[in-house]
Amino acid sequence: MKSVGKPASDLQNRVAERFGVLPNFFCLAPETPEIIEKLWGFAEAAYLDNPLPSVFKERLFVDLSRFCAVRYCIARHVGFLVGHGRPAGDRTARTQSVTDVVKLLQRPFPRGQEPQSRLALCAPVADFIAECTLSHISCSVQSTFHPV
């Protein structure tokens, strides 16, 4: 992936390989490549290599980008979701339809009691995950000290 008249850097090649495109965000500040390298490291750790499902991460990014004054953010991540690049850098992630993304973007911001009622829906899941985590730890300890 090259910009006009300039060869792509090693970092730009790595970014393009992961995303399927070279986002303009990683073409900023060519005179200070160490800044872009650190931004890439942060993107890998917090976003790309985060264990959450790729399409979920991308949809979350799009939803949060609705509130960002810099419109590049929403444009780029909508692009990833609809197949102009890879959602969350995952070549195996299924893309979304434009219709699905428009529905996501048109969701009203939760107000009043809605946030509380949505959190209440998540509480049983959180309890279940906590119980599974404790069970997993118990099984791990048991198998460590008393192998079958």
For 67, how many CA atoms within 13 A lie in the half-sphere containing its CB?
7
Confidence of residue 31 (pLDDT cuts 50, 70, 90): confident
Cβ-contact 65, 74 below 8 angstroms: yes
Confidence of residue 144 (pLDDT cuts 50, 70, 90): confident
Percent of the chain whose predicted confidence (pLDDT) is above 90: 53
Within this chain, do residues 38 and 64 fall inside the same structural domain, yes or no? Answer: no
Q: pLDDT tens-digit profile of 16-28?
A: 999 999 999 898 8
Within this chain, do residues 98 and 120 fall inside the same structural domain, yes or no? Answer: no
Provide DSSP, 49-64.
SSSS-HHHHHHHHHHH
Domain housing 117: 113-148
Within this chain, do residues 40 and 59 fall inside the same structural domain, yes or no? Answer: no
Residue 3 predicted with pLDDT over 60? no
* Overall domain count for the chain: 3
Within this chain, do residues 44 and 58 fall inside the same structural domain, yes or no? Answer: no
Q: pLDDT tens-digit profile of 51-61?
A: 999 999 999 99
Residue 85 predicted with pLDDT over 90? yes
Tell me the mean pLDDT in the region 33-44. 92
